């Protein structure tokens, strides 16, 4: 005995399962029936676990492609030229001047000295071109990311005072987040970020803007003694109470904010007035931050040049170490990682979403495709390696990226030119940085984050699109103002998932009916001598050129669900029901669908027989008593007998065990309800092989239950397509002629199939006969070049609704004919 046979026997004994899902005799009978219509009956090959596992094996070509995708610059660096370099140099240098003041300002949000912002932006600019797939992205410090890092530093210092320095905490957080991002990028898990919807991010960014402005207001006004790490509403309240303590710093902070907004609006108006110089004005607008910092640094130097070192009229940045004095191996400590670990999820989520959103936005604008997993890998490399030169958590910066785009960037290599400016600033300009007013940097931050808030027009758009999601947005902002940003992001994501689950769970399918529609196309033949104006003669000529193409579609039976309620939609045939899953079927919405299906079908049909032989004393209390035997007459009860259920599975891909068990339960209920008649289950548009396999194992897809003979009422019909692989031109020509002949004969016979009705007006539509029903077609003609689309061993899996409805109605008509004949023989009325 072979090991294979032994394994099958063991599987049968242990799992009570048979490797052959249907008896060989039944399979043979199905194949024999198909031979009249097709050359070779096609048996669909079963998917197997081994096949799935084998499909996951890495191939040599796949490995080469994967390694090449890790370094996308290799695909364009060989084509780099002088023109590209000129554009990159101009754009990179422009961004460098913009990034320097931004990086220094955002470092203060992270509770670090300004040079750490320069370190961070340098690493992002120097490394991105190696891994990135966007030419417009600038990786560096951001307001939201810096605020989150500052919050982690404050929390760790408060809970463990003196254990770690701020630099060590920031480096540990950045290194750990970088490792996680590299893991996500290497394993191509960037699709995970698509699970986070847009509304929570919008609420978070707006909330972060309010929070950041609150932390910078005391600095801009020169007010000290305010804990800016409290809930934002408390920070604003304390600032209002401390307004009498305002110092000279307010003159710097408030005027810098006003100046920056005036410059932005002024340059924007000049872009409109002088469109020919739009790029010039856009570049000047981008440099307004640099201009403001230089202006107030000059004013500060004039004010403090005569004062001793250390004395100042308003708060200054102070001493900044030149060069990369904080470079070195970051402190690797499991205890440190344990302290910063709970704060990682919101930071990683925001870092990824902020970066990917910016990259996709520019990709759509300029017509190139970004690879999210590769962008995450670039982020991870910048965060992990940045810690070795003193950097902290970084991501794509929207403001700097916008400047890079407006400056005419050509390739990702522009980041190297920006890195040169940052190195210059670190080695040559640190003496000048001493005089930068802190209030000016605070004004720069307030101006930058004010543009990130969601405007009222966008909120009104949310209201028009999805009011419930606007409610989630409002809740997220409120939670952030009265609690914290971390609680806000978790709350909004949880509410979004809850809304998604509720929508899925309460999703209800609908019952459909066929409708013949006509596609009317108006073809106008223009006469060269006719005028351009319309005349009655021309209108009559146009009407004569209308062309009607008839086809069948399926619309909801409920008038309220139809786009035009005036259209009359009826069932395809008495006792045949078409049910459409409006969303994917799964364990969440299975109960909703099955309850709706069962209740509707039983309410619109009658039992096949009035008495099932179960005495009243043995019935369940919930089972109503049966009607009298006379009610089986269609005259007394106009409802039809249940014949078939057709399921539109075009929205369904995978099926879980709960869903399949739901099908089995409904089938068992309907089998008892329709006994002794059989209820056919047809599945249309189910493309997934594993889903078809699961349903077949559960007994679906066949015209009869396992172990029974094929019913005489079943009318085999198959969807076939031409298969002329390897045929000669003459074979193809002959096959085409025969196909046209068969089509012509079918057109002649189309009206000969009579619709059957039991008096309720829901008669069946006329159906085309299948290939096997065409009279006079020779066996040789029927077999030439025709292959079944689906396996003939599972005839109730159909390619689409038209095919499924056609088969179900044929069988229902044949069953009605047999029932009428039987009634006539017994001398009873139908």
Q: Is the pLDDT of residue 299 over 70?
A: yes
Element (H, E) at 781: helix 779-783
Indicate whether 235 and 340 sit together in one domain: yes
How many domains does one find in the chain?
2
Element (H, E) at 680: strand 680-684
Q: Is residue 297 part of a domain?
A: no
Q: Is residue 709 part of a domain?
A: yes
Q: Is the pLDDT of residue 199 over 70?
A: yes
Indicate whether 34 and 142 sit together in one domain: no
Place of tokens 């005995």: 1
Q: pLDDT tens digits, residue range 127-180? A: 999 999 999 999 999 999 999 999 999 999 999 998 999 999 999 999 999 999
Picking from 449, 472, 502, the residue at the C-terminal end of a domain is: 502
Among 499, 541, 549, 504, which Cα is nearest to 524's?
A: 541
Residue 231, helix vs strand vs coil: coil
Q: Is residue 544 part of a domain?
A: no
Indicate whether 86 and 27 sit together in one domain: no
Q: Is residue 452 part of a domain?
A: no
Give the residue numbers spanning the domain of 707: 1-44+566-613+639-830
Indicate whether 328 and 463 sit together in one domain: yes
Q: pLDDT tens digits, residue range 495-552? A: 999 999 999 998 889 999 999 988 777 665 555 444 454 555 545 545 444 555 778 8
Query: What is the DSSP secondary structure assignment for residue 510, as one 8-state letter?
Result: E
- How high is the mean pLDDT of the chain? 84
Residue 765, helix vs strand vs coil: coil
Contact call for residues 222 and 519 (beta carbons, < 8 A) = no
Indicate whether 14 and 82 sit together in one domain: no
Determine how β-strand 546-556 pairs with β-strand 644-648.
unpaired
Indicate whether 3 and 40 sit together in one domain: yes
420 half-sphere exposure, CB direction, 13 A CA radius = 12
Residue 76: what are its φ and ψ, rounded to 5°? -130, -15
Q: Is residue 512 part of a domain?
A: no
3-state secondary structure 627-657: CCHHHHCCCCCCCCECCEEEEECCCCCCCCH
The total of other beta-carbon atoms located within 10 Å of residue 268's CB is 13
* 143/825: higher pLDDT: 143
Indicate whether 354 and 481 sit together in one domain: yes
How confident is residue 267, by pLDDT bands cut at 50, 70 and 90?
very high
Q: What is the pTM of this model?
A: 0.80
Indicate whether 132 and 228 sit together in one domain: yes
Largest CA distance in the chain: 123
Q: Is the pLDDT of residue 634 over 90?
A: no
CATH classification of the domain holding 761 = 3.30.750.24
Cα 322 from Cα 330, distance rounded (Å): 20
Indicate whether 420 and 468 sit together in one domain: yes
Task: Tell me the average pLDDT across 672-692.
Answer: 92
How confident is residue 721, by pLDDT bands cut at 50, 70 and 90?
confident
Lowest mean pLDDT among 324-338, 368-382, 764-778: 764-778
C-alpha angle 523/527/528, rounded to 5°? 140
Q: Is residue 511 part of a domain?
A: no
Q: Is residue 759 part of a domain?
A: yes
Indicate whether 25 and 148 sit together in one domain: no
Residue 292, helix vs strand vs coil: helix
Place of tokens 């004039």: 302
Residues β-bridged to residue 281? none
Indicate whether 684 and 795 sit together in one domain: yes
């Amino acid at each position: 005995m072979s090991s294979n046979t032994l394994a099958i026997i063991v599987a049968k004994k242990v799992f009570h399962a048979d490797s052959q899902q249907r008896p060989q005799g039944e399979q043979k009978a199905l194949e024999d029936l198909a031979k009249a219509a097709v050359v070779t009956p096609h048996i669909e090959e079963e998917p197997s676990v081994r096949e799935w596992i084998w499909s996951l094996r890495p191939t040599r070509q796949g490995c080469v492609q994967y390694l090449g995708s890790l370094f996308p610059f290799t695909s364009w660096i060989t084509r780099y030229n002088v023109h590209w370099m000129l554009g990159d140099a101009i754009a990179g240098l422009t961004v460098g001047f913009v990034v320097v003041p931004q990086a220094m300002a955002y470092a203060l949000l992270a509770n670090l000295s300004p040079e750490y912002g320069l370190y961070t932006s340098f690493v992002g600019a120097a490394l991105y071109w190696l891994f990135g797939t966007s030419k417009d992205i600038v990786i560096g410090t951001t307001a939201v990311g810096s605020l989150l890092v500052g919050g982690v530093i404050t929390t760790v210092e408060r809970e463990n005072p003196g254990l770690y320095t701020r630099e060590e905490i920031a480096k540990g957080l950045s290194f750990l987040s970088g490792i996680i991002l590299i893991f996500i990028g290497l394993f191509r898990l960037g699709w995970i970020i698509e699970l986070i919807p847009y509304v929570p991010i919008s609420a978070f960014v707006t909330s972060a803007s309010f929070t950041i402005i609150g932390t910078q207001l005391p600095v801009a006004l020169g007010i000290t003694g305010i804990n800016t790490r409290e809930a934002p509403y408390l920070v604003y309240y304390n600032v209002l109470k401390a307004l009498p303590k305002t110092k000279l710093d307010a003159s710097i902070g408030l005027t810098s904010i006003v100046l920056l907004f005036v410059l932005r609006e002024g340059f924007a108006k000049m872009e409109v007035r002088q469109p020919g110089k739009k790029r010039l004005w856009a570049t000047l607008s981008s440099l307004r931050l640099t201009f403001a910092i230089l202006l107030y640094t000059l004013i500060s130097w004039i004010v403090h040049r005569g004062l001793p070192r250390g004395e100042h009229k308003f708060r200054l940045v102070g001493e900044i170490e030149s060069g990369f004095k904080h470079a070195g191996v970051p402190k690797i400590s499991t205890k440190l990682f344990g302290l910063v670990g709970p704060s990682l999820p919101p930071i990683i989520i925001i870092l990824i979403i902020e970066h990917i959103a910016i990259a996709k936005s520019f990709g759509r604008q300029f017509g190139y495709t970004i690879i999210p997993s590769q962008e995450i890998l670039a982020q991870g490399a910048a965060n992990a390696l940045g810690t070795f030169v003193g950097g902290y958590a970084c991501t794509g910066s929207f403001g700097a990226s916008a400047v890079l785009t407006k400056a005419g960037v050509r390739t990702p290599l522009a980041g190297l030119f920006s890195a040169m400016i940052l190195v210059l600033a670190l080695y040559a300009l640190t003496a000048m940085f001493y005089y930068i007013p802190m209030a000016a940097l605070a004004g720069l931050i307030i101006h930058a984050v004010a543009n990130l808030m969601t405007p009222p027009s966008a909120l009104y758009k949310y209201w028009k699109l999805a009011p419930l999601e606007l409610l989630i947005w409002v809740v997220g902002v409120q939670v952030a103002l009265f609690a914290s940003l971390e609680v806000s992001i978790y709350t909004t994501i949880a509410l979004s998932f809850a809304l998604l689950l509720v929508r899925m769970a309460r999703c209800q399918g609908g019952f459909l009916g066929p409708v013949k529609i006509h596609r009317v196309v108006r073809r106008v033949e223009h006469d060269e001598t006719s005028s351009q104006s319309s005349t009655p003669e021309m209108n009559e000529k146009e009407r004569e050129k209308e062309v009607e193409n008839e086809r069948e579609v399926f619309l909801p039976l409920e008038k309220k669900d139809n786009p035009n309620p005036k259209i009359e939609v009826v069932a395809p045939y008495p006792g045949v029901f078409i049910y459409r899953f409006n969303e994917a079927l799964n364990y969440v919405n299975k109960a909703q669908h099955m309850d709706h299906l069962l209740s509707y079908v039983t309410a619109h049909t009658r039992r096949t027989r009035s008495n099932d032989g179960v005495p009243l004393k043995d019935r369940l209390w919930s089972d109503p008593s049966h009607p009298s035997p006379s009610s089986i007459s269609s005259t007394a009860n106009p409802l039809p007998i249940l014949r078939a259920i057709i399921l539109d599975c075009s929205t369904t891909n995978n099926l879980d065990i709960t869903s399949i068990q739901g099908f089995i339960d409904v089938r068992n209920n309907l089998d008892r309800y329709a006994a002794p008649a059989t209820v056919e289950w047809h599945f249309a548009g189910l493309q997934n092989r594993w889903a078809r396999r699961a349903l077949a194992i559960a007994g679906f897809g066949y015209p009869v239950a396992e172990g029974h003979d094929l019913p005489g009422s079943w009318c085999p019909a198959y969807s076939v397509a031409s298969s002329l692989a390897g045929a000669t031109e003459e074979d193809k020509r002959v096959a085409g002629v025969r196909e046209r002949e068969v089509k012509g004969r079918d057109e002649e016979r189309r009206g000969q199939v009579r619709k059957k009705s039991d008096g309720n007006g829901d008669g069946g539509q006329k159906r085309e006969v299948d290939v096997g029903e065409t009279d006079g077609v020779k066996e040789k003609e029927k077999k030439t070049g025709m292959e079944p689309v689906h396996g003939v061993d599972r005839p109730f899996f159909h390619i689409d609704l038209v095919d499924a409805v056609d088969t179900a109605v044929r069988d229902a008509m044949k069953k009605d004919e047999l029932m009428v004949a039987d009634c006539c023989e017994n001398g009873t009325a139908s």
